[in-house]
Structure 1
Amino acid sequence: MMTIGNAETTVPAYVSEPAGQPKGALIVIHEVWGLVDHTRDVADRFAAEGYLVVAPNLLADTAMTPELAQELQATLIDPQQRSKVQPKLREVMAPLHAPGFAERTNAAVQACFEHLNGIPAVAGRVAVIGFCFGGSYSFSLATQVPRLRAAIPFYGHADFSDEQLRNISCPVLAFYGEKDKALTDKLPELEARMAAAGVDFNDVVYPGAGHAFFNDTNSWTYNADAAADAWNRTLAFLDANVAA
């Protein structure tokens, strides 16, 4: 772990380094559960593939700890217990909707980008990948940082204006589960708006999969076939747009 940032913004982050010369650098943004072991494991997987990885804890200032995240997820999986945990879940998630949270979070992600881009071995070869909450902030970083080499949002929201979309200069590869209707129902419109904005946008929708299909620690949502295919596509995308 290390602290990344500047005089205005700091964020604790997990850093995972490759064994040899890095192919490039990657910001890995966690789900809404915070920087849990699963996110660290994903960071380590990318490091094993040759990338220098920073995974910020964007919920460090909230009550969401790895222990609480595990407890909440376990309870949500049980239909008989789900209603009992909803008040606690709303309480813990409330700061994410508070005024200023999105601005502070975007600033923290940008600080991670500047940190990586300032390392000579990977300067100019920084990408972002995120899941759920992190997928949304991956989209957001792409609208704000033209030097970003690639963005890979997994089941993230992209509620941006046409002007913001026109700011995206990197290729975007987005993944969705077919059952995640809150996102897939809006996908045709997003595809059209991305095309109109001139964005190199590609998406993959996995039949039979739902939200959070990549998280192999969540037996309720994990889809092994979709996760394996998305992993292979992600590595190929990074090789073509970051490592090349």
Structure 2
Amino acid sequence: MNSRSIQQFIFWSFTLSFVCFLGPSHAKTEVEQLEDSPRHHEWVDVAYGDGETIRCFLIYPEVKEAADSVIVIHENRGLTDWVRLVGDKLAAEGFVAICPDFLTGKGPNGGGTSSFSNSDEARTAIYQLDQNKINEALDAIVPYLRELPSTTDKVSVVGYCWGGGQCFDFATREKSLKSANVFYGRPPEEGYSNIQCPVFGYYGENDNRINATIPETKEKMKEAGNTYDPVIYAGAGHGFLRAGMEDDASEAEKKAVQEAWDRFIAILKK
């Protein structure tokens, strides 16, 4: 092999390694990844309350047997493409995933999250939501999932940031959940004795606002006789699952994402 061939070999070897390291998720936008997904996606309206509906993004896995379900509760930015992609990644692991849009009907011209012009407007709308309506919608999604022909009766819930708090709250009301997975969300103010499922926490090391609540939450869950298993991921901050999936993520954030995601999937598959 001459020197030119050697240089070309080194160049293409490096290029291939670099592309493999980045992977397709870094080469494409969230929308492009969703469009390229082999899994079935659809929008559904779940009825709740007094004739109201909540718009949800529903994703099916490519499996032959009935699948367990996961409710994915979005951040305070609403149902973004990133959250929908998380749902698709759950379906890739063999679960039916449903991602409700709690901004359904709250946007311009009666739209949902996608109708807001920016995330700040969506965030403002999130904090104006009626908590009772949120509760009613979540309460309706569980039976909706169980009535699908392709699901088992096992339903877990996961939430991120604002959704993490909603996830923990939901566990105090819905006694049939398989597990509640709280990603950097606040704990509930009350209702610990009502929790019937294990609660797993995922927290970034550099998130003192949320992490300051962990010791008291441990005590309250222990007093109630419930399982609460919080894990703090080194070098990561609040919202690390999203941050760690960005192209400019730090090595610590990437490591936190991989470890937290692997743990999350292992819990769901138990």
Normalised TM-score (structure 2): 0.74
Partner residue of 1:3? 45
- Please state whether the residue corresponding to 1:166 is helix, strand or coil: helix
Query: What percentage of residue pairs aligned between the two structures are identical?
Result: 31
Distance 1:50 1:42 in 2: 13
Partner residue of 2:113? 65
**Runs of at least 5 residues in structure 2 that lack an aligned partner in the other structure:** 1-42
Superposed, 1:112-127 pairs within 5 Å as 112-119=141-148, 121-127=150-156
Contact 2:77 2:122 (C-alpha < 8 Å) held by counterparts: no
Distance 2:209 2:267 in 1: 26
Structure having the larger proportion of residues in strand:
2
1:25 aligns with 2:55: no
Deviation at residue 23 of structure 1 after TM alignment = 3.2
Deviation at residue 13 of structure 1 after TM alignment = 0.3
Superposed, 1:28-107 pairs within 5 Å as 28-63=72-107, 65-66=113-114, 68=116, 71-72=118-119, 89=120, 92-98=122-128, 101-107=130-136
Distance 2:151 2:137 in 1: 19
- Please state whether the residue corresponding to 1:124 is helix, strand or coil: strand
Partner residue of 2:55? 12
Distance 1:93 1:37 in 2: 15
Distance 1:199 1:218 in 2: 38
Distance 2:55 2:178 in 1: 23
Question: Alignment length, in residue pairs?
Answer: 219
Deviation at residue 111 of structure 1 after TM alignment = 1.4
Query: Which of these two proteins has the greater Rg computed from alpha carbons?
Result: 2
Contact 1:22 1:52 (C-alpha < 8 Å) held by counterparts: no
1:213 aligns with 2:240: yes
- Please state whether the residue corresponding to 2:238 is helix, strand or coil: coil
Deviation at residue 101 of structure 1 after TM alignment = 1.1
Distance 2:184 2:230 in 1: 10
Structure scoring higher RCO (CA < 8 A, sep ≥ 6) equals 1
| RMSD after superposition | 2.2
Residues 208-239 of structure 1 show CA distances to partners (whole Å, capped at 9, x for unaligned) of 11110001248579911101101100011011
For residue 239 of structure 2, what is the amino acid of its counterpart? A
Residues 161-202 of structure 1 show CA distances to partners (whole Å, capped at 9, x for unaligned) of 2xx011100011111111111111121111111111111110
